[in-house]
Structure 1
């Protein structure tokens, strides 16, 4: 589907007369007069201008262009601009630790780096100079040592749009990095556009946007989901698209009230942080008919809160499970009835539903032998999909080590039920003896409303350590004892202030960093082989 290619998407939409209006939670970091509202043809013109800046910087077809900047949708627009001239955008979150940024840039070996002066200053203050790891650097906001300011390349005429072979590299994005250094995932037009975005750009009953919808998105725009979502969401041409650059409820609330969504996609951590908005008298979610969550399974009380917040008679929550390497693998539709029961020992949201029909296959194998195990028995989840990435940049052998023929090891442990549904247990490296740490986290969230974040850290010797962040920093002893009475043995909980939890760009907890901080050198219960 050539019209879905990132470099030409907005031109194609403008040509067909799309009337979608775009509203932003703050102005883009791309210099454009501080605007927060756009028409499609204006977005197309902005992408074309940015392509000219890259060409003026000397970027040529096939070159890798790293983008590291504050989180916002212009990550995607810069990716479109790079793709337009035949370059390969590599989107990297500025929230990564400096040493991780240094390592990823070294692996990437980029021709150009697009960033901001503030981002460079913060990295240098922490001991990393990104300009030393790319041949040329462009700053979007102000001059900076070792970088070309955008004023020097403004007005450069972009070359004609470049088409590339479907099997050629199209874009690079990184994994979340919860268990260590993120991997740089390389996708082609065939995998990212033809296999993932094109499938979502079809108008499916109930789970796709409609022409009259107001569609809102809150995510880390440095991750691959932002690019595929942009391609498919804009192709469906809703009336309005609202793009939020962060998860702070104080900043998101006024934007969501000004443009009340009917379709909302956000990371699980955004949903968790916005729960007070959903229970406020003037909650902004009263018109939502469709919630979508990606990146992680969500906790039952979160789903319950949002389904109760809307005035729609039959709202849906679509929970999608997948990975940067594969795109969506399973989906499940949750209703108010699905999450009605509270405090269950085995919560429902770890049931991830069935594989995407006709597009993915799953099987569960013994992690040691890779032989399939019977349905109902736990093991390593392997996926087979035509959307599999082309490889890991700078670590190609790693993809081979995670593959068995055409099957890819997800690194997750799970159970395929007798009816063919996938029940997620844990990341293999995060597993706990005799159960599921992820399930315990769900139970703790359901039974302890004061808990904002629960993380269960498994270890080879000793009971798992529960790490809790609560709304006021305290936890009543009797409430804790009641909550864990029927759970597997756990260590005494460690209370950590929410703002001291190490988080990824999508709001996931960096578990390895938390382990290093709280468990010293205690070995994990899992092997980490499939990370």
Structure 2
């Protein structure tokens, strides 16, 4: 696999405070980020980070302290992230969309000594608890003054590459979110994965809509420190404003996650979508149909990648086309597919995807204060992803689905991902979700929830006829339920544990004598 010529230097080289200092010295006037029409240069960013670090130090933040951050996408948020890393404190990003038990879990499990929160979210933070600093200001530019006064100088701590500088909670679909310990080296390596995937040219612009509390957004903070590119940041993804924002910002790259390409394809064509500079949309979970339609309609290239927060975000990259699955393993990692006993299986056979570093450590040291789940994820030097996949004869990895997201039907394991991938290509379907429900005899039956495409009506009988030509008999759904939307995690994953197992009031293929199995 070709990639950045300096990839080994990035992994082994300067820690993040050093990268920031070097970028500010080499190109202080280079644009780092645009937000709301205001541009922040690399030099200005470095000055804001220094000021914020001094204020945080005056608040008592010390190396190793955990600081929870509930801020929207804004230059202030980027400044806080970098200031905490400069201080060698641990940034604990908290999704402002969390509510109730999920929010309480992150704040309790992360056990922060300080909480930084935007005024629009301040009501989410309960009492009693650690000290809270509220950001109550408007404006498009960074201004660290909301953090209080600075009292004298502070010592810049470049620190060690293996310092844990972030605690990123991964969305749990069946259980509480896990706090992934992320090192300085891992964050740099996540940004390196962006370079492998997108191959940026000088002056190009990355449209940043994804919340910075997710690794997909967080990794972008460090890309302009590695290359002379600019971030065009918006507060959130908006399908109605997307093309106007992309066009006005001059964006050349966009991270597509959570099905945003399909969302854009479902909208009527507009003049703006034909007059942009986007040359690549990259991310995960794109169906073959969406890949091809997006390239044809929007005039850009699609790239697919796969990975986990636990392994520095990226494991594989595919820039060749849908036939290559999720692509080839990046050179600083090694991956394998193993059976339930930990033995590697041959190409073409499926099993659990496992990963380990190929050289310097770029896999998490473990889950925060959770030795049991850390131990369960490790086996024989490998980190178990919990995902199923297979390698083809060309060395491309093909993702099959979560190991715990399958149904046992008539002696066969049915992958939800495989069934959903097929059903999602039906023209009336925007998205689907498969679960198992108790069968009268035997193991389980298959129930599929359908979110219709915009303006479409789902005919369950027609859909089953269509599926019969594309699915094995044991993969055929018995029950079909049409929904207006799905319960989702803050990162837009469907929470299948909250999908109803009841089979009343939904289409039953067997009851209508139209079963294909």
Q: For this structure pair, what is the TM-score category when the shorter chain's length is used for normalisation? A: 0.7 to 0.9
Residue 27 (structure 2) aligns with: 17
Structure 1: any 5+ residue segments left out of the alignment? Answer: 27-34, 143-148, 339-347, 520-531
Residue 331 (structure 1) aligns with: 317
1:464 aligns with 2:455: no
The answer on whether the counterparts of 1:292 and 1:320 sit within 8 Å (CA) in structure 2 is yes
> What does 1:127-526 correspond to in 2, within 5 Å?
129=126, 131-133=127-129, 135-141=130-136, 151=146, 153-155=148-150, 159-193=154-188, 195-198=189-192, 207-238=198-229, 240-276=230-266, 279-283=269-273, 286-293=276-283, 296-311=284-299, 315-327=300-312, 328-335=314-321, 338=322, 348=323, 351-356=325-330, 358-367=331-340, 369-385=341-357, 386-433=361-408, 434-448=413-427, 450-459=428-437, 461=439, 462-470=444-452, 471-472=454-455, 474-477=457-460, 479-486=462-469, 487=471, 488-498=475-485, 501-514=486-499
Tell me the distance in 2 between the aligned counterparts of 1:138 and 1:216: 29
Structure 2: any 5+ residue segments left out of the alignment? Answer: 1-9, 138-143, 505-517
Q: Deviation per CA, 1:410-438: give whole Å up to 9, x if none.
A: 00111222333222111011113343321
The answer on whether the counterparts of 2:252 and 2:277 sit within 8 Å (CA) in structure 1 is yes
Tell me the distance in 2 between the aligned counterparts of 1:414 and 1:275: 28
What is the RMSD of the two structures over their aligned residues, measured on CA atoms? 2.9
Q: How many residues align?
A: 471
Say if 1:71 and 1:465 are closer, same or farther in 2 by CA, change over 3 A.
farther
Tell me the distance in 1 between the aligned counterparts of 2:134 and 2:404: 38
SS at match of 2:158: coil
Tell me the distance in 2 between the aligned counterparts of 1:150 and 1:397: 42
Tell me the distance in 2 between the aligned counterparts of 1:333 and 1:138: 44
Residue 44 (structure 1) aligns with: 46
Shift of 1:224: 2.3
Say if 1:284 and 1:432 are closer, same or farther in 2 by CA, change over 3 A.
farther
Shift of 1:173: 0.9
More deviation, 282-291/414-423: 282-291
Say if 1:417 and 1:264 are closer, same or farther in 2 by CA, change over 3 A.
same
Shift of 1:250: 2.0
Q: Deviation per CA, 1:129-174: give whole Å up to 9, x if none.
A: 1x534x21111127xxxxxx97571455561321212222221111
Tell me the distance in 2 between the aligned counterparts of 1:111 and 1:173: 16
Q: Deviation per CA, 1:202-261: give whole Å up to 9, x if none.
A: xx6x831111322222323102233333212442112x4212332221233321121232
Shift of 1:517: 9.1
Residue 508 (structure 2) aligns with: none
The answer on whether the counterparts of 1:437 and 1:458 sit within 8 Å (CA) in structure 2 is no
Tell me the distance in 2 between the aligned counterparts of 1:153 and 1:517: 54
Q: Deviation per CA, 1:6-56: give whole Å up to 9, x if none.
A: 445444322111544355555xxxxxxxx7432222222332232233223
Tell me the distance in 2 between the aligned counterparts of 1:20 and 1:317: 28
Residue 510 (structure 2) aligns with: none
SS at match of 1:484: helix
The answer on whether the counterparts of 1:285 and 1:309 sit within 8 Å (CA) in structure 2 is no
Tell me the distance in 1 between the aligned counterparts of 2:120 and 2:193: 38
